[in-house]
Structure 1
Amino acid sequence: MKYYLIAGETSGDLHGANLIKALKTEDPQAEFRIIGGDQMEAATSQKALIHTADMAFMGFVEVVKNLRTISKNLKKAKEDLFRYQPDTVILIDFPGFNLKIASFAKKNNIKVCYYISPKIWAWNQGRVHKIKKIVDHMFCILPFEVDFYKRFDMDVDYVGNPLLDAIDAYTFNPNFLAANNLENNPIIALLPGSRKMEIEKILPDMIEMYYAFPKHQLVIAGAPNFDEAYYRQFTGDLDIAVVFDQTYDLLHHAEAAVVTSGTATLETAILKVPQVVVYKANALTIQIARKLIKVKFISLVNLINGYLSVIELIQKDCNPEAIRDELDRLINDPEHRASVLENYTILAEKLGSPGASAKTAKLILNYLAPKN
């Protein structure tokens, strides 16, 4: 069968790549067309029509500033999708873009599978009515999403969380510390995100930890769409390492982490690293979000557990002093550290076992199979 997959950001690219591998296992004759990043390109041995580096705009103000680019990307994607005429289009999160593609596909009789539900439970819940009309099959990765959709009489499939697949399949490098000259001091991992806007607002505060924890070494997890020179404009001459494509190895060796809100907070929790979650954005974006968003927390760890499991520092609360204070507790307060790790154990029980990619691939094939 022919599959058209669309991911618009780094985390979606990871999950898209793993789903492609699972689809190849279930359907050896599978053909693919992709909009995604490096990992989806590697999984299909083809160049993406549009790369995630040219798509990932986060926040209300940032989206408005880039409306022309977004419009061009949508036009290009729709034209290519129509030409390709796949058996299904598989949309991965990224709702601002992908829901428009879903609507277009539905009008043109292309089956729509949505992998990783838009976070409509967080804001603008009325969008569920549109989703019911334009999405043929929804595959959810967060346990509470099933009950959310049931409230609107929509049946969805809960497939588990694909991050468990990615971490389970990862081969840790036993020489990571030596290969990156990180053998001397305990590590504090800095995960500033993959979007330029996030990095530029949050990384300077993270770097201040260099002065607060002189007995530790800070290590930045670099995003694949940037190079080391980009990060050096923030670190200057400070002895702060940057590693690329080694985030899981970095977390595996870290004593604690400062993590920008997003998928990385869940990865950090699965790998059992005590963390403080941080987030900053354009002031107007945050003001609008606070009026619209209907959930108590921003990190996936807290959302899934349903209570404050890791500290979140947002906007004005995200400052060097507050980050330092929470990091100090995570590193030096045994009771607090143990509490966070216990919260991770509860999280692991809720997430279940690996297998999301394989389960989703099987379900897609089943839904597409001709019915007698």
Structure 2
Amino acid sequence: MKYYIIAGEASGDLHGSNLMKALIKQDVDAQFRFWGGDLMKKVSDNIAKHYKELAFMGFAEVVMNLRTISKNLAFCKSDIENFQPDVIIFIDYSGFNLRIAKWAREKGYRTNYYVSPQVWASRAGRVKSIKRDIDSMYVILPFEKEFYESQHDYKVNFVGHPLIDAIANRAQVDEYNFRATHGLDDRPIIALLPGSRKQEITKMLSVMLSIVNHYPDYQFVIAGAPSQERSFYDSFIKNTNVSFVDNETYDLLSISTAALVTSGTATLETALFKVPQVVCYKGGWLSYQIAKRIITLKYISLVNLIMDKEVVTELIQNDFNSKRLKKELDLILTKEKREQLFMDYFELEKKLGGQGASENAAKLIFNSLKD
């Protein structure tokens, strides 16, 4: 079978690569064409577009890049027609993927969605187009099944969360060697995860780094995103005692005592590594004003959304400042708060189900193609 997969971000690249590996187990003749990143390229070299070319953050930035986005949409449609896939598999990245899905439905292509757009967070009206344009939806968060089926009468498949697999299957890090390789001493580590796009990294790191000098007994380490070059981070760490680790976030989290994390998939990854965290987010003024009016959720972090309570503190927009950040970091370094977070994290992992999300999705996708 021929599979055309569209992933537009680093997390989609991770989930896409694991799905591709699982599809090969089901379909030894599988052929891939995809939008993704380096992880997917390790499975197949037939890449159409790298996600580094697609990362536009916030409403204002999207508007400023409408011409580029339009060109990408046109290229994608042409590329699909040249490849003639048996199925198109969309991975999150809703703004782009739902436009392609509408076109694909009109052209008669089979459409599957793996990792649902966050329609439960905002603009739930998009469910109407999903029901119209997507043959099968495979969701990875437990509350998404109830959202689609009970609230919108749309049957979906809950396959479990692929991060469980990604973390369980990774090679264990040798802490001594890791510290030696990256010039880290024996002080406890506080990881800084400022996001993956230049715009958000710039906003997040300026505040995160402002509190470093208050913690001489800890060492702070920035987790570099795979989508950015090392040179981009140099201006932030120049004249500081902060260290940098490039594209080794999981290894870093596995030996960290605490973390300051930009809202997104990284909050869930940090929780699954059982690392106490403070969730941070600050967007541009216009983007934030728009988002505030259309997002209907009580929380922004996946940890709190899945648990349906405040497990981790969220510092959003004006609350994300040096004073509040230091206060919350002090709190998660205390024994009492850490013990409570560990208990909540274990409960969170139970809610996500066991291993096998990628395999579950691959089996369902492949079997549907045989019908």
**TM value normalised by structure 1:** 0.97
Question: Quick one: distance in 2 between partners of 1:173 and 1:342?
Answer: 24
Query: Which of 295, 306, 309 is the matching residue for 1:307?
Result: 309
Deviation, structure 1 residue 53: 0.6
Letter in 2 for 1:356: A
CA contact (8 A) 1:263 1:300 kept: yes
Question: Quick one: distance in 2 between partners of 1:290 and 1:206?
Answer: 23
Q: Which residue of 1 aligns with 2:251?
A: 249
Tell which deviates more after alignment, 262-271 or 231-240.
231-240
SS in 2 for 1:291: helix
- 1:134 to 2:133 alignment: yes
Deviation, structure 1 residue 225: 2.0
SS in 2 for 1:35: strand
Letter in 2 for 1:264: A
Q: Which residue of 1 aligns with 2:222?
A: 220
Write out per-residue CA displacement over residues 95-142 of structure 1, whole angstroms, 9 at most, x where no aligned residue: 000001111111111100000011111111111111101000000000
Query: Which of 317, 324, 327 is the matching residue for 2:326?
Result: 324
Q: Which residue of 2 aligns with 1:38?
A: 38
Tell which deviates more after alignment, 75-84 or 264-273.
75-84
Q: Which residue of 2 aligns with 1:191?
A: 193
Q: Which residue of 2 aligns with 1:272?
A: 274
Q: Which residue of 2 aligns with 1:364?
A: 365
Letter in 1 for 2:130: I
Runs (4+) off by over 2 Å: none
Q: Which residue of 2 aligns with 1:10?
A: 10
Deviation, structure 1 residue 352: 1.4
Question: Quick one: distance in 1 between partners of 2:200 and 2:16?
Answer: 23
Question: Quick one: distance in 1 between partners of 2:45 and 2:78?
Answer: 22
Question: Quick one: distance in 1 between partners of 2:341 and 2:95?
Answer: 33
Matches within 5 A, 1:326-365: 326-331=328-333, 333-365=334-366
Question: Quick one: distance in 2 between partners of 1:32 and 1:83?
Answer: 13
Q: Which residue of 2 aligns with 1:167?
A: 167
Question: Quick one: distance in 2 between partners of 1:259 and 1:183?
Answer: 22
Question: Quick one: distance in 2 between partners of 1:342 and 1:192?
Answer: 26
SS in 2 for 1:298: coil
Q: Quote the sequence identity (%).
A: 50
Deviation, structure 1 residue 65: 1.2
**Which 5+ residue runs of structure 1 have no aligned equivalent?**
none
Deviation, structure 1 residue 239: 2.0
Deviation, structure 1 residue 45: 2.8
CA contact (8 A) 2:2 2:32 kept: yes
Deviation, structure 1 residue 340: 1.5
Question: Quick one: distance in 2 between partners of 1:112 and 1:40?
Answer: 20
Question: Quick one: distance in 2 between partners of 1:9 and 1:232?
Answer: 23
Write out per-residue CA displacement over residues 14-68 of structure 1, whole angstroms, 9 at most, x where no aligned residue: 000110111111111000001111111112133x211101112121111111111
Q: Which residue of 1 aligns with 2:21?
A: 21
CA contact (8 A) 1:219 1:240 kept: yes
Q: Which residue of 1 aligns with 2:86?
A: 87
Letter in 1 for 2:73: L
Question: Quick one: distance in 1 between partners of 2:185 and 2:163?
Answer: 28
Question: Quick one: distance in 2 between partners of 1:69 and 1:280?
Answer: 25
- 1:258 to 2:244 alignment: no
CA contact (8 A) 1:2 1:30 kept: yes
Deviation, structure 1 residue 249: 0.9
Question: Quick one: distance in 1 between partners of 2:77 and 2:19?
Answer: 22
Question: Quick one: distance in 1 between partners of 2:145 and 2:362?
Answer: 19
CA contact (8 A) 1:159 1:359 kept: yes
Write out per-residue CA displacement over residues 293-341 of structure 1, whole angstroms, 9 at most, x where no aligned residue: 111000000000000000000111111111111111111x211121111
SS in 1 for 2:286: helix
SS in 1 for 2:100: helix
Letter in 1 for 2:96: F
Q: Which residue of 2 aligns with 1:125?
A: 124
Question: Quick one: distance in 1 between partners of 2:370 and 2:203?
Answer: 48
Question: Quick one: distance in 2 between partners of 1:58 and 1:255?
Answer: 30
SS in 2 for 1:341: helix
CA contact (8 A) 1:88 1:113 kept: yes
CA contact (8 A) 1:172 1:248 kept: no
SS in 2 for 1:313: strand
Question: Quick one: distance in 2 between partners of 1:222 and 1:160?
Answer: 28
Question: Quick one: distance in 2 between partners of 1:77 and 1:45?
Answer: 17
SS in 2 for 1:34: strand
Deviation, structure 1 residue 173: 2.2
CA contact (8 A) 2:237 2:243 kept: no
CA contact (8 A) 1:53 1:225 kept: yes
SS in 1 for 2:227: coil
CA contact (8 A) 1:277 1:310 kept: yes
SS in 1 for 2:259: strand
Q: Which residue of 2 aligns with 1:64?
A: 63
SS in 2 for 1:324: helix
Q: Which residue of 2 aligns with 1:181?
A: 183
SS in 2 for 1:242: strand
Tell which deviates more after alignment, 209-218 or 127-136.
209-218
Deviation, structure 1 residue 209: 2.6
